[in-house]
Structure 1
């Protein structure tokens, strides 16, 4: 790769970091999830608004972390708008790394793939869907629930 190509990639990454696409919360999201990389502290939250026929109408992210984690999240939500649920589920880790551009070390690949992992789990995390209708499906910690403490 020539130095000019390298500069273009770096500029593309910095553009997404400094002026991210759809950063912030999404009102009326239908799907949402958050994840982190405990080794470096990167955090990504993704909100999706899916249409009734399963297309991504809007995708937003928020988070904290390194340039790679935040820029890749911006690139990913921009790329996923208009895609079908099936296209989201089939979008691979290798495709995510290719979307990002510059070659990364294995440790830095984890930063890039954090948003991809969160997107994959957000697809299965409806906000007002069947998963939230039955409180008995959630984790149980033993002891009284908040409703029983009176």
Structure 2
């Protein structure tokens, strides 16, 4: 597949998650709630997580922001459901490395739709948009461990 076709495909995946977000909403009854914002561009997110016995059983988000921040939140909530806290945090670290333009070395790791965001690394001003939901997830899971 040519670079232009791949770029178009990635844009379509990002726009699909933006227009049809997965896991949009708020979890109630004892779930973790993390509010974060990106003051440089105005993106904001409220992430709610339900964690039992070290497993992320459910994840939802709501917020306002650009297509990159909202689609990244949608992709992230899909990716961490059913994962152990350690695996979710590892995935977040891999995502952060991808945003820094680093090559992903873990062949066992299937990023799925998340790969569509790899082009963001070429636009430093947009990296904070893409990582906002991931940083919220890491903050919530790390606080839950305490």
Smaller-chain TM-score range? 0.7 to 0.9
Partner SS state of residue 41, structure 2: coil
- For residues 143 and 29 of structure 2, the distance between their equivalents in structure 1, rounded to whole angstroms, comes to 14
Deviation at 1:95, TM superposition (A): 5.0
**Bigger radius of gyration:** 1
Which residue in 2 is equivalent to 1:63? 63
- For residues 133 and 72 of structure 2, the distance between their equivalents in structure 1, rounded to whole angstroms, comes to 7
The reply on whether 1:118 has 2:136 as its aligned counterpart is yes
CA 16–96 in structure 1, closer or farther in 2 if over 3 Å, else same:
farther
2:31–2:51 contact (8 Å) kept in structure 1: yes
- For residues 100 and 29 of structure 1, the distance between their equivalents in structure 2, rounded to whole angstroms, comes to 32
TM-score between both structures, scaled by the size of structure 2: 0.79
Q: CA RMSD in A?
A: 2.1
Deviation at 1:29, TM superposition (A): 4.5
Higher helix share: 2
Equivalenced residues, count: 127
Which residue in 1 is equivalent to 2:127? 109
- For residues 32 and 100 of structure 1, the distance between their equivalents in structure 2, rounded to whole angstroms, comes to 26
2:26–2:48 contact (8 Å) kept in structure 1: yes
- For residues 23 and 30 of structure 2, the distance between their equivalents in structure 1, rounded to whole angstroms, comes to 13
Which residue in 1 is equivalent to 2:105? none
- For residues 17 and 115 of structure 1, the distance between their equivalents in structure 2, rounded to whole angstroms, comes to 14
The reply on whether 1:94 has 2:97 as its aligned counterpart is yes
Deviation at 1:20, TM superposition (A): 0.4
TM-score between both structures, scaled by the size of structure 1: 0.77
Deviation at 1:100, TM superposition (A): 4.8
Which residue in 2 is equivalent to 1:145? none
My pick for the range that moved more, 76-85 or 90-99, is 90-99
1:24–1:62 contact (8 Å) kept in structure 2: yes
1:48–1:60 contact (8 Å) kept in structure 2: yes
Q: Which runs of 5+ in 2 are unaligned?
A: 101-110
